[in-house]
Amino acid sequence: MNSKIKNYDNISTLGMSQLDLVLKVYNGAIASFKEAAEYYKAGNSMKGYELLEKSKRFITHLYTTLDPDKGGEIAEKLGKIYAFLLNQTNHAQVTKELKIIDDNIAILGNIRDGWLFLKQQQKGNQLTEAAVVASTPSKFTTSA
């Protein structure tokens, strides 16, 4: 069953834009942090630890896919944030402090919101461009 889910996940990402893929990784990290917090609250430290490990894999993916040549200062700052989040997650695994997990969720949520805003702006620009193209008369119109 697990291989079917992985296969579905692989297929579902095939048609996604870079921005949608980034958002999917952020959503995965946030969901793993939230689930880890719930397990820690319930007293299941082992499962909470495992889910924090999963969160770290999401953050590590975000970190290792940064492109400093294209991203410049933004990529550099995101790299520092991701390093901080990884360090904080390690600390949360040792101390089981839920506040650290909540802080990580808030940080990732803020960055994800920035990506969502960018996605909405891109959609708006595409709609504007489509409206301009649609309202521009074609050179090849014929009059009857």
For the chain, the average pLDDT equals 84
Q: How many residues does the chain have?
A: 144
Residue 7 domain flag: no
- pLDDT of 125: 73
Residue 86 domain flag: yes
pLDDT at 113 over 60: yes
Residue 4 domain flag: no
pLDDT-derived band at 10 (thresholds 50, 70, 90) equals low
> Which residues are within 8 A (CB) of 111 and not within 5 positions of it... i.e. 6 or more apart?
26, 78, 81
- pLDDT of 34: 98
- pLDDT of 9: 52
Number of structural domains the chain divides into: 1
Q: Give the domain extent around 30.
A: 16-125
Residue 134 domain flag: no
Longest dimension (CA), the chain: 79
Residue 45 domain flag: yes
Give the domain CATH number at 59: 1.20.120.340
> Which residues are within 8 A (CB) of 53 and not within 5 positions of it... i.e. 6 or more apart?
93
DSSP 96-111: --HHHHHHHHHHHHHH
Mean pLDDT for the stretch of residues 84-96: 97
Residue 2 domain flag: no
**67-77 tens-digit pLDDT:** 999 989 999 99
Better pLDDT: 103 or 137: 103
Residue 34 domain flag: yes
